[in-house]
Structure 1
Amino acid sequence: MDRVTATTGVRAVARILARADGRGGTALPVLESDGPLALRRTRGSGAEARVMLVGAMSGPLGGDRFAVEAEAAQGARLRVGSAAATLALPGQAGGAARYDVRLAAADGAELHWLPEQLISVAGSCLSVTTRVDLAATARLVLREEQVLGRTGEPPGRLTSRLTVRVAGRAVLDQELACGPGAPGGWDGPAVLAGHRAVGQLVVARPEFAAEPVAARMLGEGAAVVPLAGPAALVTAVAPDALRLRRLLDEALASLD
């Protein structure tokens, strides 16, 4: 883990590598973290290894640069979550903060990326990029949730980009910008329509190649569409984080 504190903020990188242990389980030969990105192994289930991301410090603050890298090697099963919501906060260093997530899963591997919500606090400025690289027979469940402001406050500036590649082919590349300074219309009827919580769920399974998911509405505020590969995308908006989570949980259950 690399960590540097200066007038430009904190820089931190956490790394996870999961490998099949040859006995029907999953080992974690690499689990490196420190400072604001603390990783903890928790009790898994069956062949699955579970890792929890614990916020050891506030942030990201303005000027911070955080990154998380997680890889599931061939045959491994890895689930990564977080202990609490992430707060994007303004910082003394000023400027924008960055949070980069890099995920990879090899053939026969399964990766679940299920962090808690990201809350964009008034006065903050954060750019989040999530890049996923999957082998052709890898399996993925990825959930992202953004909440625009704490109760009774406006949001900060938040830019979120999500890209997914399967067998080297891009199946998803989307970006959303919200808050002060974002392109006009982000809060309009064609985007968030006044909702304060927005989320997406990406599910990749080899069987979707033969039987793609049908595009459909999933109740009020959510929809699922097939991607150009063995994957599906669920997008949802809601008045608050609790209802957003309920929508995404119901969407995931409908894909099982």
Structure 2
Amino acid sequence: MTGIAATHMQRSHGKGTLAVKRAAGRTRIDRLHQSGNAKIRVPGTHTDALEAVLINTSGGVTGGDTLSWTIESGPGTNAIISTQACERIYRSAGDTGRQNTAIRVESGATLFWLPQETILFDGGRFVRALEVDLADDARFVGLETLILGREAMGETVASGLYRDRWRIRRAGALVHAEDFRIDPEGEPCVTAAAVLGGNRVAATLVVATGDDAERLDLAVAKARDLLDGTAAGISRIGEGAGGRIVVRAAAPTSHALRKRLLPLLSLFLDGRPLPRTWSL
């Protein structure tokens, strides 16, 4: 009976599109479309930036589920995109859940991609792709955080699949590419010193602002001070159009890492408040 139920389990599929424009000195909705389990909410703010919250109403992702997000930031806009809650990747009966995100940031625009953590359950299978296209002078800050197993239950991830693919282009030229994969078989991967050294939470932050080397180096120095004492690495790669800052950080718990990430995010938010969904 269990096998039959799993085979015929209904899959969830969602697509959400948000396009923003600048009007009357503020960033406003230009187009919004949502279908299936993908929902978008835009709470009121007291700044010039538009804050959007992405919601997966199915409560998580299991094998065969799909999510697709499209974000388009028009010229001169400022937008902060977050999620309502952590995304949960449940144990799969064999199929793989997938999420694709396409972001376009036009001239003079700034976009902050700040979803909350993704929790990979033991046996979960999830493949995610992030494609970002930036104009010459656009600014992008993107964060993804992975939690391996349910902390409250002391769960470790001994089986499953997690793949995360990033591609960031500026004026059509590839400036950042990375592929992260965890595919454990039989042994909890968090115990491996070459993976996370016993930590169960890991975050990647990419700051692609097009700044010159001096400004990037100053930001790196401030970031290192903020993450002092954390298992983290911070690099400045290139400058100008291809310049970016890449931060990798790990911690034993999501609460511990979030406490260190909040001031780091504030550093790159240009004085704007953090999304309310990011409150501790």
TM-score, normalisation: structure 2: 0.80
223-232 or 73-82: which moved more? 223-232
Q: Following TM superposition, by how much is the alpha carbon of 1:105 offset from its aligned partner in structure 2, in angstroms?
A: 0.5
Tell me what 1:15 maps to.
17
Q: Following TM superposition, by how much is the alpha carbon of 1:140 offset from its aligned partner in structure 2, in angstroms?
A: 1.5
Q: Which amino acid aligns with 1:114?
A: L
Tell me what 2:273 maps to.
none
Larger radius of gyration: 2
Tell me what 2:184 maps to.
180
Tell me what 1:67 maps to.
68
Contact 1:201/1:248 (8 A) holds in 2: no
Q: Distance in 2 between matches of 1:24 and 1:230?
A: 29
Q: How many residue pairs are counted as aligned between the two chains?
A: 249
Q: Distance in 1 between matches of 2:265 and 2:214?
A: 19
Q: Distance in 2 between matches of 1:117 and 1:104?
A: 22
Q: Deviations over 1:47-71 (max 9, x none)?
A: 2111111231122110111111111
Q: Following TM superposition, by how much is the alpha carbon of 1:15 offset from its aligned partner in structure 2, in angstroms?
A: 0.6
Q: Distance in 2 between matches of 1:209 and 1:20?
A: 30
Q: Which amino acid aligns with 2:70?
A: E
What is the SS of the residue equivalent to 1:245? helix
Q: Which amino acid aligns with 1:213?
A: D
Tell me what 1:244 maps to.
257
Q: Distance in 1 between matches of 2:134 and 2:74?
A: 10
Q: CA RMSD in A?
A: 2.6
- The 3 A distance-change label for structure 1 pair 88 and 75 is same
- The answer for unaligned runs of 5 or more in structure 1 is 1-5
Higher percent of residues as strand: 1
Contact 1:177/1:186 (8 A) holds in 2: no
Q: Distance in 2 between matches of 1:41 and 1:108?
A: 22
What is the SS of the residue equivalent to 1:46? coil
1:226 aligns with 2:236: yes
Tell me what 1:52 maps to.
53
Contact 2:156/2:190 (8 A) holds in 1: no
What is the SS of the residue equivalent to 2:197? coil
- The 3 A distance-change label for structure 1 pair 254 and 111 is closer
- The 3 A distance-change label for structure 1 pair 11 and 230 is same
Q: Deviations over 1:107-161 (max 9, x none)?
A: 1001011111000011210011112111121111211111001021122421112
Tell me what 2:206 maps to.
202
Tell me what 2:216 maps to.
212
Q: Distance in 2 between matches of 1:208 and 1:130?
A: 25
1:119 aligns with 2:119: yes
Q: What does residue range 37-116 of structure 1 map to in structure 2 within 5 Å? A: 37-91=38-92, 94-116=94-116
- The answer for unaligned runs of 5 or more in structure 2 is 1-7, 271-280
